Structures are given as C-alpha cells and as structure tokens.
Amino acid sequence: MSGLDRARRVVVKVGSALVAGAGGGSADAAWLAAFAADAARLRARGQQVLVVSSGSIALGRRRLGLGRRALTIPEKQAAAAAGQSGLMRAWEEAFEPHGLAVAQVLLTRDDTEVRRRWLNGRATLETLLDLGVIPVINENDTVVTEEIRYGDNDRLAARVAQMIGADVLVLLSDIDGLYTADPRREPDARHLARIERLTAEIEAMAGGANAGAGVGTGGMATKLAAARIAQSAGCATVITLGTRPAPLKAVEEGERSTVIEPATTPAAAYKAWIAGSLAPGGALIVDEGAAQALGRGKSLLAAGVRRVEGRFGKGDAVVIRDEAGREVGRGLSRYDAADAERVCGLKSDAIEAVLGYTAGPLIHVDDLALADRAKA
C-alpha cells in the first residue's frame, strides 16, 4: 500500500524526460496537462501537493540551440536560466484549467541544510500550501556550483518532503519500480513491490538500472538515496512509471510500483531531530506552571519563562529547564536570545509593544521535543 489515497502531503518528483518530452521546442504540454488533472484530483480531496520539477536544463539547451553535446558547467547554468521560465510557463498552463495557481520555488542545498534558511523555506512552503497553491520546486542551478549542488532532483525532492513533513514522496521514473536487475537487459529480473528496509543488497540491485534514461541525471541509485532520506523522515517513497497518463491514479489503483516504507512518522522524526541532533545554543528556565503546560501538549509562552541563558539566534535549538535545573525538553526558539530576554515573563499580547513584532510563543509545540520529566 502506497498510502497515497490517505496522505496529507504529497511531494511528486517529475524528471526532465517527462517534462521536456522527446521532441524539440517546448515542454510536453499533453503530458503536463494529464499530470495536472491527476494532481488536481488529489487537491480536490483536500490533499496538498508539491511538485519538484526538473527540465530547466533540457528545455534551456533547446532554447539556446546547444544541441545534444555535453555542456560545460557554465553552459548548463546558462541553459537552466533560459529554460526555467519556459518550464514554469508550462506548469502554469497545465494547472490553469483546474483553477490552481503554481508558485516557483528555487532552492539550493543550504536552504535545506542551514537551519535558519530551512525554517524560512519551510514557512514559505507552508504559506503557499495554506493558500491552496501548488509549489513547483527546482534546484537553483544558475547560482550553485558543482560542489554545493544536490545534483539531482530525487534527493532535492526527498529533502523537500522532509522539510515539510510529507507523508508520501512519489518519484516518477521511466521504469515502474525497482527490480532485482535491469529488466531491459535481464528478462528474469524480478520486480520488488514493497521494501521495508533499504539493505546493502537492495542498493546493489539499483546499480546500472535506469542508466539509459538519457535526459535527466538521476538513476535508480539516486532514487534509493532519496528513499533513504525520506524513510528516516517518516515519509513513504513510491517509485513508479511516469509515462502513464495519470501516474498517481495508477499507483492508487495498484498498478506496478515499488513502495519503500517509512521507518517512523514525520512528526516523530522531526522531534527526534530536535531532541537529538541539534546542539542547543542556550537555555530557557521556566516556572512550574509552564513546565506542566508543556507536558499537556502546550506551546511555551513568554509568560512562563523566568530566565534566558546563553546566546542563540532565531530558529536555534535551546534547552528548556525547570527551576530545579531539570531538563523539560528542547525546542526551536522563535526569538533570538536578546529578544527572548526582553519578553520573558510577559503575556503574549504585550510582546509586540516591546519588540515591535511578535512571532507568537517562544517555542511552538510543533517545534518542541519533551524530555521524560515533562511527559510524566
């Protein structure tokens, strides 16, 4: 089971071969129209859809008359710049008949790896989704150099899925899933419908498969790398054939695909990340009432904070302690240390008068991982 019919948030990665088609000139409008109808069906059920679309380099190379020869890195970047606008126009036109607006989001690796930018990117994507828009995301190829690229949109899509807590990541491919060997060369290759754990043996199977795809950069190995990121973020990955007219519907109807199961839930993965892998930059000392409120699933309000210790920026991880010094939890602070200091002890509606802005609670419940003391 892919879980696609029940997912709240779905990220779909669309490769260059699908968007750009085989022919010359512009994007494959017929494929895009069919896909948009399929995605609009999910939207109509109240599900949120984000598209990660490749194709800027493939379209740009045609636009600039660069033929099929190997491109230098600056040429690729130039092609990406020339192709991205046509790519977005094609997406606009595809979703227009369904009354759905699209929004271009160009990310670089730092946007998903530097926490502050990550929080900004996440806030923008959340806002777009709340507004009912379909974000169409690509790597900002024009400004990234080879060393700092994601390099392929499979991994970019997995990072996006992680960033916004998606339930399902769909990687549309030129093959209907993962096989024990390349089925185009080995007729005995067996299709794998469901993978619970990504073992070394499975990764070995991906070697070489999909190598003939031609237009895009990602092969099956990068799809598994993406699936690994998604799996630990609590997101299922579906690898399926993108050339079907309604590839998402096909997955729901049980057509052949490979589902890689998540290892956790998106919320638990996010909390584990806050609790475990971030070095806290400071501490918020809270009163007993606040410590208990946190245990009941509330956000940390400024009113319950007695003292602020250490130096931290907006979005940094901080540790929350009670007045006896026991750890209550960890979370991401919505204010830097200086501003937190100025508002601690204040009621929420008094914050704006002091700071000139308000970012809501000091730590929102969604960005909070409780320690055992508060859970008890």
2, 10, 12, 15: which one binds ligand GLU (CB under 6 A): 15
Task: In angstroms, give the least distance from the CB of 325 to ligand GLU.
Answer: 49
Indicate the residue among 80 and 128 with the shorter CB distance to ligand GLU: 80
Question: Residue 314: how many CA atoms within 13 Å on its side-chain side?
Answer: 12
Indicate the residue among 217 and 264 with the shorter CB distance to ligand GLU: 217
Task: In angstroms, give the least distance from the CB of 219 to ligand GLU.
Answer: 10
* CA–CA separation, 117 and 279 (whole Å): 17
Task: In angstroms, give the least distance from the CB of 174 to ligand GLU.
Answer: 12
Q: Is residue 28 close enough to count as binding ligand GLU by CB under 6 A?
A: no
Q: Is residue 329 close enough to count as binding ligand GLU by CB under 6 A?
A: no
Task: In angstroms, give the least distance from the CB of 246 to ligand GLU.
Answer: 22
2, 47, 48, 54: which one binds ligand GLU (CB under 6 A): 54
Range in contact with ligand GLU (rule: CB under 6 A) among 164-172, 210-218, 224-232, 254-262: 210-218
Torsion over CA: 357, 360, 363, 364 (sign): negative
Chain positions 335 to 354 lying near ligand GLU, rule: CB under 6 A, are: none
Indicate the residue among 208 and 297 with the shorter CB distance to ligand GLU: 208
Task: In angstroms, give the least distance from the CB of 210 to ligand GLU.
Answer: 12
21, 177, 218, 304: which one binds ligand GLU (CB under 6 A): 218
Range in contact with ligand GLU (rule: CB under 6 A) among 48-56, 182-190, 225-233, 314-322: 48-56
Chain positions 61 to 90 lying near ligand GLU, rule: CB under 6 A, are: 80
Token pair recorded at residue 90: 């094609």
Q: Is residue 152 close enough to count as binding ligand GLU by CB under 6 A?
A: yes
Q: Is residue 239 close enough to count as binding ligand GLU by CB under 6 A?
A: no
* CA–CA separation, 263 and 208 (whole Å): 26
Q: Is residue 217 close enough to count as binding ligand GLU by CB under 6 A?
A: yes
Indicate the residue among 57 and 374 with the shorter CB distance to ligand GLU: 57
| Secondary structure, 3-state, the chain | CCCCCCCCEEEEEECHHHHHCCCCCCCCHHHHHHHHHHHHHHHHCCCEEEEEECCHHHHHHHHCCCCCCCCCHHHHHHHHHHHHHHHHHHHHHHHHHHCCCEEEEEECHHHHHCHHHHHHHHHHHHHHHHCCCEEEEEECCCCCCHHHCCCCHHHHHHHHHHHCCCCEEEEEECCCCEECCCCCCCCCCCEECEECCCCHHHHHHCCCCCHHHCCCCCCHHHHHHHHHHHHHCCCEEEEEECCCCCHHHHHHCCCCEEEECCCCCHHHHHHHHHHHCCCCCEEEEECHHHHHHHHCCCCECHHHEEEEEECCCCCCEEEEEECCCCEEEEEECCCCHHHHHHHCCCCHHHHHHHHCCCCCCCECHHHEEECHHHHC
* CA–CA separation, 18 and 222 (whole Å): 17
Q: Is residue 153 close enough to count as binding ligand GLU by CB under 6 A?
A: yes
- Report which residue's Cβ sits closest to ligand GLU: 54
Chain positions 100 to 139 lying near ligand GLU, rule: CB under 6 A, are: 138-139
* CA–CA separation, 166 and 112 (whole Å): 14
Range in contact with ligand GLU (rule: CB under 6 A) among 51-59, 110-118, 168-176, 187-195: 51-59
Check: CB of residue 330 under 8 Å from CB of residue 264.
Answer: no
Range in contact with ligand GLU (rule: CB under 6 A) among 53-61, 96-104, 129-137, 272-280: 53-61
Token pair recorded at residue 64: 């600039």
Indicate the residue among 216 and 315 with the shorter CB distance to ligand GLU: 216
Task: In angstroms, give the least distance from the CB of 152 to ligand GLU.
Answer: 4
2, 47, 48, 56: which one binds ligand GLU (CB under 6 A): 56
Task: In angstroms, give the least distance from the CB of 79 to ligand GLU.
Answer: 8
Q: Which residues bind ligand GLU (CB under 6 A)?
A: 15-16, 54-58, 80, 138-139, 141, 152-153, 216-218
